[in-house]
């Protein structure tokens, strides 16, 4: 399968934060959900992918091209959807279109009007009067109107109400039908990912923890719940981290099959949520560092 | 084609899809050569990710229930009935071998065995 985004050994440091040897690949024709806690480096990674920041070391290639020689071409083929208003507030969507259109070789007015109609966006109202949901749709309309092959979204569902989030996921499902488009989006709302994401990329403290097919996660990871008496030095080693209380323990393992062999029948073994994985990974890090 | 996904089920979603399509094929609700929805269409209809339907189709293909043609999509295998026949044939062969061995033990020769088989076969008709 073709990789649309490739990061290799990328380093980037600021005061008090660093991305450390980050390598990851994003597959063409699929949706990748990008998760990680606050300060994990999601926004920095996205900015690096957009060439809004440059890496200190390492290479970044988009569509197999590097920014140094092909910045214009790459940007023509990317649609970027922010969670915040990136438009001039005092213009209308119709005026905004006139400003943006000349920047794109493949701009398609028919497509623009198709999405404006589909999303029921007003062309002649000032953008500052738009709700968060409308802003999101306007941003997506602009991204889609120049035939972007790669759509990068930073927290697209945050701040949207549940029914609009559903609507957005439907829109994304429709976009994925021809298999030519690739979507990469960061989110805090991990339940959205079950409905749309093919791959999950998880970073923590500037490090890449994994990129996996979404079904692979529940095949490998499991939450084990049981009585404290099941824990000793050996069994504790099976876990990424453990939450103990007076009433028992709950822990995350990255090797479900082994956990089933060891604890089968004596403990509950359940499918973890992405939140569980994020929580226990963070906790495990604090414990061992 | 009806497919119902349970979010509370313990089984992974791709296995639920696999089991339901397999059942539709075995009950002939989906017939030989009939086309299945594209992976992307099915993912959209069921509101799940493409990789999940892809995995289900891959398993169905691996086990001979469906086949795919690049650019055309996935279809119910014709091999499926052949496979069932093939399996039954193997069972018959094994049973006949047992009959031959038992016959040899008490000195029944090939002609006698053939006569016996012919007689029993006609009685069943």
pLDDT band at B23 (very low <50, low <70, confident <90, very high): confident
Contacts of A174 in chain B (CB under 8 A): 44
A214 in contact with chain B, both atoms CB, cutoff 8 A: yes
Contacts of B51 in chain A (CB under 8 A): 30, 198-199, 213-215
Q: Are residues B25 and B59 in the same domain?
A: yes
In a domain, B96, yes or no: yes
Q: Are residues B96 and B55 in the same domain?
A: no
Contact call for A199 and B50, based on CB within 8 A? no
CB-nearest to B52 from A173, A179, A214 is A214
Contacts of A201 in chain B (CB under 8 A): none
A157: closest CA of chain B, how far (Å):
16
* Cα B54-A176-A49 angle, rounded to 5 deg: 105
CB-nearest to A176 from B10, B47, B50 is B50
Contact call for B55 and A177, based on CB within 8 A? no
In a domain, B69, yes or no: yes
Domain count, chain B: 2
Range 54-113 of B in CB contact (< 8 A) with A: 55
Nearest-angstrom CA–CA distance, A192 and A35 = 11
pLDDT tens profile A11-48? 999 888 889 899 999 999 999 999 998 888 998 999 99
Q: Are residues B36 and B60 in the same domain?
A: yes
Ordered by where they begin, the domains of chain A are: 3-216 (3.40.50.300), 221-288 (3.30.70)
pLDDT at A289: 45
In a domain, B26, yes or no: yes
Buried b (16+ CB within 10 A) or exposed e, A172-209: bbebbeeeebbbbbbbebbebbbbbbbbbbbbbbbbbb
Contact call for B49 and A218, based on CB within 8 A? no
Nearest-angstrom CA–CA distance, A267 and A226 = 5
Q: Are residues B25 and B67 in the same domain?
A: yes
B5 in contact with chain A, both atoms CB, cutoff 8 A: no
Q: Are residues B20 and B51 in the same domain?
A: yes
Q: Are residues B104 and B56 in the same domain?
A: no
Tell me, what CATH number does B57's domain have?
Answer: 1.10.10.10
* Nearest Cα residue to A30 out of A206, A188, A215, A166: A215
pLDDT tens profile B61-113? 998 889 999 888 999 987 656 667 766 777 788 899 999 999 999 999 999 99
CB-nearest to A197 from B14, B49, B55 is B49
pLDDT tens profile A182-204? 999 998 778 888 889 999 999 99
Nearest-angstrom CA–CA distance, A212 and A201 = 7
Q: Are residues B70 and B88 in the same domain?
A: no
Across the range A143-155, mean pLDDT stands at: 92
Q: Are residues B72 and B35 in the same domain?
A: yes
Phi, psi of A160, deg, nearest 5: -100, 145
Phi, psi of B80, deg, nearest 5: -60, -50
DSSP string, A215-249: HHHHHH-EEEEE-GGG--HHHHTT-SEEEEETTEE
- Tokens describing residue A42: 């999601």
A163 in contact with chain B, both atoms CB, cutoff 8 A: no
pLDDT at B122: 92
Q: Are residues B73 and B18 in the same domain?
A: yes
Closest chain B CA to residue A212: B51
B61: closest CA of chain A, how far (Å):
18
Q: Are residues B17 and B73 in the same domain?
A: yes
Q: Are residues B23 and B46 in the same domain?
A: yes
Instruction: Show the domain range for B43.
Output: 13-77
Contact call for B48 and A215, based on CB within 8 A? no
Contact call for B49 and A169, based on CB within 8 A? no
CB–CB contacts below 8 A, A to B: 48
B47 in contact with chain A, both atoms CB, cutoff 8 A: yes
Whether ipTM exceeds 0.90: no
- Tokens describing residue B100: 């031959």
Contacts of A222 in chain B (CB under 8 A): none
Any residues with CB less than 8 A from the CB of B37 and at least 6 apart, and which? B1, B45
Q: Are residues B64 and B32 in the same domain?
A: yes
In a domain, B91, yes or no: yes
pLDDT tens profile A47-97? 999 999 999 999 999 999 999 999 999 999 999 987 666 667 788 999 999
Nearest-angstrom CA–CA distance, A61 and A4 = 8
% of chain B surpassing 90 pLDDT: 58
pLDDT at A193: 87
CB-nearest to B51 from A179, A195, A198 is A198
In a domain, B17, yes or no: yes
Q: How far apart are the first and last CA of chain A?
A: 37
Range 19-38 of B in CB contact (< 8 A) with A: 38
């Amino acid at each position: 399968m073709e990789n649309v985004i490739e990061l290799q050994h990328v380093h980037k440091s600021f005061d008090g934060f660093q991305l450390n040897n980050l390598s990851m690949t994003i597959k063409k024709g699929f949706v990748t959900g990008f998760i990680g806690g606050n300060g994990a480096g999601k926004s920095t990674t996205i900015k690096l992918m957009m060439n809004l920041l440059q890496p200190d070391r390492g290479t970044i290639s988009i569509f197999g091209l590097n920014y140094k020689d092909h910045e214009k071409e790459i940007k023509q083929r990317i649609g970027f959807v922010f969670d915040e208003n990136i438009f001039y507030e005092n213009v209308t969507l119709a005026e905004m279109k006139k400003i943006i259109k000349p920047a794109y070789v493949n701009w398609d007015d028919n497509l623009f009007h198709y999405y404006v109609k589909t999303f029921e966006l007003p062309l002649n109202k000032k953008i500052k009067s738009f709700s968060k949901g409308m802003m999101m749709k306007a941003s997506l309309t602009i991204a889609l109107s120049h035939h972007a092959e790669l759509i990068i979204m930073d927290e697209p569902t945050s701040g949207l109400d549940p029914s609009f989030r559903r609507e957005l996921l439907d829109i994304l499902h429709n976009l994925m039908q021809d298999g030519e488009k690739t979507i990469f989006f960061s989110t805090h709302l991990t339940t959205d990912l079950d409905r749309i994401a093919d791959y999950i990329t998880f970073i923590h403290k500037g490090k890449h923890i994994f990129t996996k097919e979404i079904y692979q996660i529940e095949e490998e990871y499991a939450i084990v719940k049981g009585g404290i008496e099941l824990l000793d030095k050996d069994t504790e080693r099976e876990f990424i981290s453990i939450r103990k209380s007076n009433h028992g323990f709950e822990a995350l393992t990255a090797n479900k099959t082994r956990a089933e062999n060891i604890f089968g029948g004596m403990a509950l073994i359940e499918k973890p949520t992405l939140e569980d994985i994020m929580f226990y990974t963070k906790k495990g890090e604090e414990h061992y560092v | 084609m009806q497919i119902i996904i349970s979010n509370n089920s313990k089984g992974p979603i791709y296995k639920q899809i696999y089991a339901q399509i397999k059942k539709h094929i075995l009950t002939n609700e989906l017939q030989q050569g009939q086309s299945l929805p594209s992976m992307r269409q099915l993912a959209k209809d069921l509101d799940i990710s493409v990789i999940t339907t892809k995995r289900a189709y891959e398993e169905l293909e691996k086990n001979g229930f469906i086949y795919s043609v690049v650019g055309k999509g996935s279809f119910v295998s014709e091999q499926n009935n052949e496979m069932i026949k093939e399996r039954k044939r193997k069972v018959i062969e094994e049973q006949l071998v047992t009959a031959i061995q038992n016959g040899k033990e008490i000195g029944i020769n090939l002609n006698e065995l053939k006569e016996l088989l012919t007689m029993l076969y006609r009685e069943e008709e």
